[in-house]
Structure 1
């Protein structure tokens, strides 16, 4: 995520239940392990975050 350093003010880990792994950007959900049933690949996550930051 270093390539987005100038755009990211904060990265926070929040405890949850049920094995959830969710990534949000400005309050918008961009990835959910709960919905996909798997963890994202690193390049997939970078792409999804980048798309949201450019939107």
Structure 2
């Protein structure tokens, strides 16, 4: 959960004028996926790792 909260903070700071709602859905088994406009940006489940720093931001930009 701390990594998800750090990511949320970074996304909101970077895209403060573009993000109206940011929603996290808790899951079990360490699943960690990031979607933007219903498009999968990152999947810990598929890659079996957490994203590297700024990896999500770079993929969204």
Which TM class, normalised by the smaller chain length?
Answer: 0.7 to 0.9
Q: Give the structure-1-normalised TM-score.
A: 0.77
Question: How many Å separate the matches in 2 of 1:38 and 1:46?
Answer: 16
Classify the secondary structure of the residue corresponding to 2:54. helix
Give unpaired runs (5+ residues) of structure 1: 51-55
Where in structure 1 do 4 or more consecutive aligned residues deviate above 3 Å? none
Mapped pair 1:23 → 2:34: yes
Higher RCO by CA contacts (8 Å cutoff, separation 6 or greater): 1
RMSD of Structure 2 on Structure 1 (CA):
1.1
Q: Give the structure-2-normalised TM-score.
A: 0.71
1:32 corresponding residue in structure 2: 43
